[in-house]
Amino acid sequence: MARGKATVIKNAGSHFLLSELPEWKPFEAVLKGKVRQKKSGATNPVAVGDRVIYECSGEVSEKNPALIEEVLPRDNYLIRRSTNLSRTSHIIAANIDQALIVTTLYFPEIKLPFLDRILLTCEVYGIRGIIVLNKVDLYRSEVPDQVERFVDIYSSAGYTVLQTSTISGEGIEELKELCRGKVSLLSGESGVGKSSLVNSIDPSIGAKTGLISQAHLQGKHTTSLYEMYRLDTDAFIIDTPGLRGFGLVDLEKEEIYKYFPEMLRCSKDCRFTPCTHTHEPDCAVKQAVDEGIISAERYNSYLGMLEEDKKFR
Ligand SMILES: Nc1nc2c(ncn2[C@@H]2O[C@H](COP(=O)(O)OP(=O)(O)OP(=O)(O)O)[C@@H](O)[C@H]2O)c(=O)[nH]1
Ligand SMILES: [Mg+2]
Ligand SMILES: [Zn+2]
């Protein structure tokens, strides 16, 4: 029995592809029953990006896959619940350097609270979130004010916002540079262009992409698996299925504001501690909202999360 250490690069549910990194020699693997049953609280005990110990007898092939024995401790991971009501959670990816959160203003239309939930989760798990505003070729000249407003909201909150188009090629070089030498996760709603961006960075990948539906202007969930690709720039990128919902992880209501970087910065000047930043007098956060230093949109997302908290917990 040979044993080795490798990284999970593809999760197809019942079987996996592993490779050593940064070398790239993918091979088949399945889970050993023991790992499969281990209680992790998540529906998937093994996620793309996980480093694992495997064993195999003889030449590894589709018929003779390696056995994943053990998942090594994670440096980090990103997790979500299917909905706020569900008890099960799902590990999106592990051991990543950054999350590229892909969004569009239109086609499909953006929902800011949804984006804010993903960003909040990145903050909770200590993962740098970078916003990729894609498909600008489709709407920027029609709604320049909205694009400017969007960039302003998120850059003043402290996020990098990259404007991209896989059609005109705008922003693709910058995206390449951002990914160089790192493991990046691509996340976001279906149809925003995650797989197209992978192909724009490295056309040799040929990830599958799909049209959005004409009737609803929504994605059709073209990507169905979690898969890591090695780009020609010494970078690894994890393409994922479009998110349908994004349930928040367990978080005390009093903690939520700490994961809005711009609120955390202001909150030091609130008169009361703890302050919920809703009704208290001399609340520095509310004052910053009034002065436009914190955007009304982000503050509304925060209020929405507090409301949900009442509903769901
Ligand atoms: N005009 C324009 N269309 C784009 C751009 N990027 C992607 N698209 C189109 O958007 C559609 C969806 O792209 P995908 O790359 O499949 O989207 P995805 O985010 O991977 O979607 P899922 O796999 O379903 O999560 C395709 O028809 C792409 O050609 C862009 O920058 N501009
Ligand atoms: Mg896709
Ligand atoms: Zn306050």
Residue 142 sits in a domain of what CATH number? 3.40.50.300
Q: How far apart are CA 174 and CA 239, in angstroms?
A: 18
CATH number of the domain enclosing 35 = 2.40.50.140
Last residue of some domain: 193, 209, 239? 239
Flag whether 41 is in a domain.
Answer: yes
Average of pLDDT values for 17-33? 93
Which is the closest atom of ligand 1 to the Cα of 199? 15
Whether residue 186 lies inside any domain: the answer is yes
What is the number of the ligand closest to the CA of 192? 1
Q: How far is the CA of 195 from the centre of ligand 1 (A)?
A: 7
Same domain for 81 and 61 = no
Asked whether residue 26 falls in the same domain as residue 148, the answer is: no
CA 164 to ligand 1 centroid distance, Å: 12
Residue 149 sits in which domain range? 77-239
How many structural domains does the chain have? 3
Q: Which of 17, 51, 71 is the last residue of a domain?
A: 71
Q: Which stretches does DSSP call E strand in the chain? A: 2-11, 16-19, 27-31, 51-56, 66-71, 77-81, 89-94, 98-103, 128-133, 161-163, 183-187, 226-231, 235-239
Does 116 share its domain with 161?
Answer: yes
Looking at the structure, do residues 164 and 292 belong to the same domain, yes or no? no
State whether 66 and 81 are in the same domain. Answer: no
Banded pLDDT at 1 (limits 50, 70, 90): confident
Ligand nearest to the CA of 280: 3
The rounded percent of the chain whose pLDDT value lies above 70 is 94
Do residues 251 and 197 lie in contact, with contact meaning Cβ atoms separated by under 8 Å? Answer: no
The reply to whether 95 and 154 lie within a common domain is yes
Task: Tell me which residues have their CB closer than 6 angstroms to ligand 1.
Answer: 134-135, 137-138, 165-167, 190-196, 209-212, 219-223, 241-242
On whether both 94 and 155 belong to a single domain, the answer is yes
Interval 79-132: pLDDT, tens: 988 766 667 788 999 999 999 999 999 999 999 999 999 999 999 999 999 999
Against a cut of 0.85, is the pTM above it? Answer: yes
Neighbours of ion ligand 3 (CB under 5 A): 270, 275, 277, 283, 285
103 in a domain, yes or no? yes
CA–centroid distance, 276 to ligand 3, in Å, is 6
Same domain, yes or no: 226 and 271:
no
Looking at the fold, whether 232 and 88 belong to one and the same domain comes out as yes
Do 224 and 120 share a structural domain? yes
What is the tens place of the pLDDT at every residue in 214-240? 888 899 999 999 999 999 878 999 999
**Could you tell me if 92 and 223 lie in one domain?**
yes
Q: Which residues surround ligand 2, an ion (CB under 5 A)?
A: 194-195, 222-223
CA distances 39 to 13, 49, 267, Å, are 17, 19, 38
From 71, 104, 124, give the residue that closes a domain.
71
Asked, for residue 85, whether it belongs to a domain, the answer is yes
Do 43 and 141 belong together in one domain? Answer: no
